[in-house]
Amino acid sequence: MSEELKTIKELADELGISKKYLQNKISYEKKKQNLSIGNWKKISGKNTIVLSDKEQTLIKSWLNSLEDKQEDKADSLEDKQEDKADSLEDKQEDKADSLEDKQEDKADSLEDKQEDKADSLEDKQEDKADSLEDKQEDKADSLEDKQEDKEKSYLKERISVLEKFLDKEQTSNSELKKIIQQTQNLLDQQQRLALQDKKLLEEYKSEINELKALKMPREDMKDGSSIRGEAQEEIERLKAQLKLSEEERNKAKEKEPVKTESKKWWQLWK
């Protein structure tokens, strides 16, 4: 039969006395009788002193006399008082820790609110900058659409005049056919120029999107006016580039040979 080992706490609970009293009693008898009692053993990951059956019997014999029992009772009462004092001290420490935790939680909550407020303000500034860029893009798109509609309307009017003239005169003059062909070529050229302008506008939008995609450190982004200033400078540069393209297109129109032919046609009309 295997030996039943017990810890000092388990033996004290069995005898109905405090652990501290039992430890004191063992220490007293060990010194008095020059004995070695207890061995170290790892229990639940902790090194703990355990007592053999023989050591348990010896310890129980020390506690059998009436004198020992009276002393045990007095010591047990004292130990209980000490345990009560320790318990009260632990409660006070727990109360202090709880109060400290509440204060820390309150400070953390206040800090989180301040950070949320700062983030909200930063998000509003970013939304305002994005809204401004969207409006500028819409304005540029609207301007391009109006210019294209105006050019198409002008060319359609030219073609309509020529068609009416042909219907009225009922002529198949080759010169008029050339004029119509040249006018059609002009329409095709205008459409090509419109496509070039559209491509330029796409590049313009792409550069704006790249500008929007730039992410600066949060400390630098707190100044919303600096971001809007840089965006405005980039937009002005792109507008100047678009204007230069329109001027080049107008110069190309002025050099078209159709104008010479148109002049001859109008002379025939007179």
Mean pLDDT across the stretch 73-89?
78
- Measured CA distances, 61 to 25, 55, 57, 98 (Å): 12, 10, 6, 46
Distance from C-alpha of 198 to C-alpha of 260, rounded to nearest angstrom = 29
Exposure on the CB side of residue 265, measured as CA atoms within 13 A: 22
- Measured CA distances, 229 to 200, 211, 222, 235, 236 (Å): 23, 12, 14, 10, 11
**Domain-by-domain residue ranges, the chain?**
1-64
pLDDT digits (tens, 9 = 90+) for 154-178: 888 888 887 787 777 666 677 767 8
pLDDT digits (tens, 9 = 90+) for 218-260: 545 445 566 667 767 777 888 888 888 888 878 777 766 555 5
- Measured CA distances, 156 to 146, 180, 183, 184 (Å): 15, 12, 10, 10
Question: H or E segment at 9?
Answer: helix 8-15
Phi and psi of 39, rounded to 5°? -130, 150
Token pair of 265 as six digits = 């046609």
Looking at the whole model, is its pTM more than 0.75?
no
